[in-house]
Structures are given as structure tokens and as C-alpha cells.
Amino acid sequence: MDARYTGTRNRQNRSGAATTRAVLRYARRVQLAYARFGNGPPILKVPTWLSHLDYEWRTPIWEPLLAGLTKHHELVRFDSRGGGLSDWEVENFSLELMASDMATVAEATNLERPAVFGVSQGCAFSIRYAVEYPDRVKCLVLLGGYTRGQLKRDVPNAEELFSASQTFLRRGWGSTNPVYRQMFSANFIPEAAPKQKSGIDELQRVSISAENAIRIGEVTAEIDISDLAKKVSVLTLVLHCEGDQVSPPCKCSTWESGSLGLIDSRCAN
């Protein structure tokens, strides 16, 4: 993949664990920022729609999870093309490119059969990666994911609702008024505390532009990996949060038709 490093920086996260962030460049001329920290069996965390390697440590949503994962594991994260600390100026977004980006980061960090942790849209990327590179994955942990994107679900008026949300996003994402972005926060965590809502709001603002959020949304809305999910051969744990309005399992998942099992985790509270 012609990967080469263009710089590194060491820092400490809020829990005191040493971290390393580096930027690598590869053949498609897209720079990906990644971070690795902790010691133990490796975990590769796949980026969600919103990701920012540094700011996530300052949010009440992600910091407790990241601190917990790094107590007994080495955690490798990277920001998706088009967002976070990776290149924002990119030509293309696709399921195939994300799986390729995962492979590039895994190769650059010399990960050997990590547990792959996918959240939301990252679950679809993780599944494709596990199917393409089964010998490189120890297991999958999928949280709040989906096999069918918004436009592939059996939902009334799906196209109209998706178009309306994209228009809302285009007009309000960069606004100083957080009410536009808080619409999305309410869908992800409807019962979030005020501090959690403000954390998600700020993560949206710093992690991606409105244009790239729209472009990624168009890609993920068309995802349909129902057949691909049946080809997963590695041990897989599937979790969903009760009350999730973005990817409710009854509307957008077909895990039960493949080799994956579904566990409804009662974690709304």
C-alpha cells in the first residue's frame, strides 16, 4: 500500500496513558491520523461518522470508554478520511475505501490479529474488513450498527426523511446556534444529560465539515451488507443500546439471518 510516516507526536491522555499519534501517507494521497496507547492484546477501533483523536478524550461520552479499553489492552484508533485529524480534502468516500483504510492503519501499526471494535457505521466497515481479511481479525465487537443504511430499510417515507435531514444538516451544521446539531444528538442519545449533549455537539463541530458529513451520509444511507454479513467467519458479538433512534435493530439489522447473534444491551441508563 506504499505507506510511509510523515510525522509523529507523543502525548498523554486524561487517564495518564501514553499515546502516540502519527500521520501516514499512502498511494491514494490521503493522510490518515491514528493513535495507539495502552498495553495488552490489541484492539482496532473503527471510526464512526464523528471522530476526533484528541477531542474524544475530553468528552463525557467517549473518555470513560477509551480509558476502560486501555487498562488492559493496546488500543489503536484512527480518524476517518474527511474528518478529525485526517485529511478533510478527499475525493471519494466508500465502504471499500474504508476497509482499505483499516488495512493501511493495521499494517502501519503492525497489528497482529486485533479484536476489531466497530460502532454505528463502523460496524459495516468492520464486517467488510473481516470478510476481506479473515486471517487478520481475531474477533468482532459491533455496537449500534446496521446491515442496511437508511435508504435500504423498510421504513415509510425513508427518502423524504433522509432528504430533509440532509437539508437540515447543510443549512445548520456550521451555525453558532447548536440547536441544529442537537437534533442529531437527540437521535443518538435521546436521554443524554446536558453535559453529554454539549459534548456531542462540540464533537460534531470540530470533527467534520457539513459538506463531508453530507457526503458520508449519502454513502452510509446506501449500505446493504445483508449478504456480506453471512460470510463473517470470526467470532462476533453484536450489541445495541435500548432507545437508539439511529440504528434500531428491528429496522435496520439482519444479523439474525447470518452467522451473527444479536444481544440487546440495556444501557440507555
Q: Give pLDDT tens digits for 236-246.
A: 998 877 666 66
pLDDT value of residue 190: 72
Residue-number span of the structural domain to which 80 is assigned: 4-265
Count of structural domains, the chain: 1
pLDDT value of residue 166: 84
pLDDT value of residue 40: 95
Contact between residue 78 and residue 19 where contact means Cβ atoms under 8 Å apart? no
Return the residue matching grid coordinates 494521497.
29
pLDDT value of residue 132: 94
pLDDT value of residue 248: 64
Backbone torsions φ then ψ of 219, nearest 5 degrees: -70, -50
Q: CATH number of the domain that 29 lies in?
A: 3.40.50.1820
Cα–Cα distance measured from residue 228 to residue 210, given in angstroms and rounded to the nearest whole number: 30
pLDDT value of residue 153: 81
Q: Enter the pTM of the model.
A: 0.82
Backbone torsions φ then ψ of 201, nearest 5 degrees: -60, -45
pLDDT value of residue 269: 31
* Below-50 pLDDT ranges, the chain: 1-20, 25-27, 252, 254, 256-269
Cα–Cα distance measured from residue 78 to residue 22, given in angstroms and rounded to the nearest whole number: 10
Q: Give pLDDT tens digits for 6-64.
A: 444 444 444 444 444 555 544 356 889 999 889 999 999 999 888 999 999 988 889 99
Q: Which three cell numbers stand for residue 128?
A: 467488510
Cα–Cα distance measured from residue 57 to residue 256, given in angstroms and rounded to the nearest whole number: 34
Closest alpha carbon to 48 in 145, 141, 116:
145
Q: Which three cell numbers stand for residue 155?
A: 421504513
